[in-house]
Structure 1
Amino acid sequence: MIDTVVFDFDGTLADTNQMIINSFRHIYGMFLNKECSEDYIMSTFGEPLNLTLTRDFGQFDFDEVINAYRDYQRTKFNDEVTLYETVEETLEYLKNKDIKLGVATSRFKNSTMKALERFNIAKYFDSVVSADDVTKHKPDKEPLIKVITELKSTSNRTLYVGDSKFDIECALNAAATPVLVGWQSNSRELADKYNIEHVLEKMWDLTGMIK
């Protein structure tokens, strides 16, 4: 029986896609004086930001690059980010059913908590594990296992809801059940590649999996 649901944040709970794309375009223009393709940026979704920035901007001071990225997001977050349809209603329903809820994200802790508080959904989660809480990142199982442990649950009773290959592989590596959101452009491709049984059309569909 499922008694625990853990969520990714970006692309799963909140539509941050365009803001992330715009943030990368901003720093590519600022530091490298060139454009960056949307397909490449989207291929990094789910990867810890520091890994992406170190790989692509290694010749620059890391703090300068990440500060420029964060500065852009601070000014644009309220205009460019929204919760996906039925997210808050679903979280409230699950919480009222005494389902344990957590977040395992590749975001940094500070920005994760600010985002959850911005949308007034932090109250639903008893464990939030971010990139700076672990030494190994998705697709490694460590972030998800840490949430499951903090929630005093077990992998076989846990759903992990995400939108990227990193989320799917993290769930599989942790022996939890992967649940894929169906609203990203590559959702069907990922579902087919990983033979995912549970694909959500909207977040509320998750309630049908909880008995």
Structure 2
Amino acid sequence: MDTLLFDLDGTLLDTNPLIIASFRHTLGYYFPDETYRDEDIFPFIGPTLEKSFKALNEPEWKEMQAFYRSFNIAMHDQLVAEYPGVIEGLYRLHAKGYKMGVVTSKGRPVVERGLRLFNIDHLFDVVVTADDVVYEKPHAEPVERALRALGSTADRAVMVGDNDTDIFSGKNAGTKTVAVGWALKGRAFLEALEPDVIIDSMEHFEAWLDEVTVHA
């Protein structure tokens, strides 16, 4: 393995509080008579905003998308946090010479803001966002686009994520797949996706990479 592709939200950065707050703010405005628990919002985490708001059968989905983004950007730096050990792990992997990329269903401006906020933007040779593809995850296109940009192939690559869209995008592109054990939706959800491995820490990920490389 020489190529590592990472989802962003819920994988490298803990954006879940921001995403949940943004959805609650938006849904509360457009559906003031409804009450939304965190569990009600979980299904919206992973797909693009367009897909999430269209699923509500709302003719105002474009307006809702803009409303969400306005709040999300305003609260971004306040609510986004690090996962313990993840950023340090990224620096170690970069130092080992892995080709590294981000593959996300978010728009480019907020993705770049998050990467800059934690000073990890320079660690990645490619960033593929929802703005760069016709078909978003779980389609293979985002992963395949990242592989082409890195001059890599699926048999040498790993897709790392916290959601079904990440794992299935990797599977569809032919890469190995890694689920992060700190995913919001829990271990049972991850196990049902049948990734190659579920990691509990970046050290666990590094040990797994060493093992896979030895047996390649």
Give the shorter-chain TM-score range. over 0.9
8 Å contact kept, 1:24–1:36: no
2: CA distance between counterparts of 1:17 and 1:199? 19
CA distance in 1, matches of 2:84, 2:118: 13
Secondary structure of 1:186's aligned partner: coil
Q: For residue 68 of structure 1, report the CA deviation from its aligned partner.
A: 1.7
Give how far 1:37 is off. 3.3
Aligned-residue sequence identity (percent) comes to 33
Q: d(CA) in 1 for partners of 2:111 and 2:203?
A: 22
Residues 1:140 and 1:37: Cα distance change in structure 2 (over 3 Å) = same
Q: Give the TM-score of the pair, scaled to structure 2.
A: 0.91
Q: 2:155 and 2:17 mapped to 1: Cα distance?
A: 34
Query: Counterpart of 1:183 in 2: which secondary structure?
Result: coil
Q: Which runs of 5+ in 1 are unaligned?
A: none
Identify if the C-alpha distance between structure 1 residues 61 and 86 changes in structure 2 by more than 3 Å, giving closer, same or farther. Answer: closer
- The answer as to 2:84 corresponding to 1:60 is no
Which runs of structure 2 are paired with 1:1-211 in the superposition (5 Å)? 2-33=1-32, 34-56=34-56, 58-60=58-60, 62=62, 64-211=63-210
Q: 5+ residue gaps in structure 2?
A: 211-216
How many residue pairs get aligned? The number is: 209
Alpha carbons of structure 1 residues 185 and 69: separation in structure 2 relative to 1, 3 Å: closer
**Which has the larger displacement, 183-192 or 77-86?**
183-192
The C-alpha deviation readout for 1:146-202, integer Å capped at 9, x for no partner, is 101100001011111100111111111111011000012433213431333311112
* Deviations, residues 3-59 of structure 1 (Å, cap 9, x unaligned): 000000000001111111111111111112122232232122210111112332622
After superposition, give the CA deviation of every residue in 1:86-134 in whole Å (9 maximum; x if it has no partner): 1221111111111000000000111101111111100000110011110
Against the structure 1 CA distance between its residues 5 and 61, is the aligned structure 2 distance closer, same or farther, given a 3 Å change threshold?
closer
Range that drifts further, 11-20 or 71-80: 71-80
The 1:84–1:58 alpha-carbon spacing in structure 2 relative to 1, beyond 3 Å, is: same
* Mapped contact 2:163–2:190 kept (Cα < 8 A): no
Change beyond 3 A, Cα 1:195–1:54: closer
**Mapped contact 1:90–1:203 kept (Cα < 8 A):** yes
**In 2, distance between residues paired with 1:72 and 1:183?**
25
Deviation of 1:76 (Å): 1.7
Aligned counterparts of 1:130 and 1:35: Cα–Cα separation in 2: 31
| Equivalent position amino acid for 2:37 in 1 | S
Name the SS for the 1:113 alignment partner.
Answer: helix
AA paired with 1:140? Answer: H
Show the counterpart of 2:214: none
Q: Distance in 1 between matches of 2:89 and 2:169?
A: 23
Relative to the length of structure 1, the TM-score reads 0.93
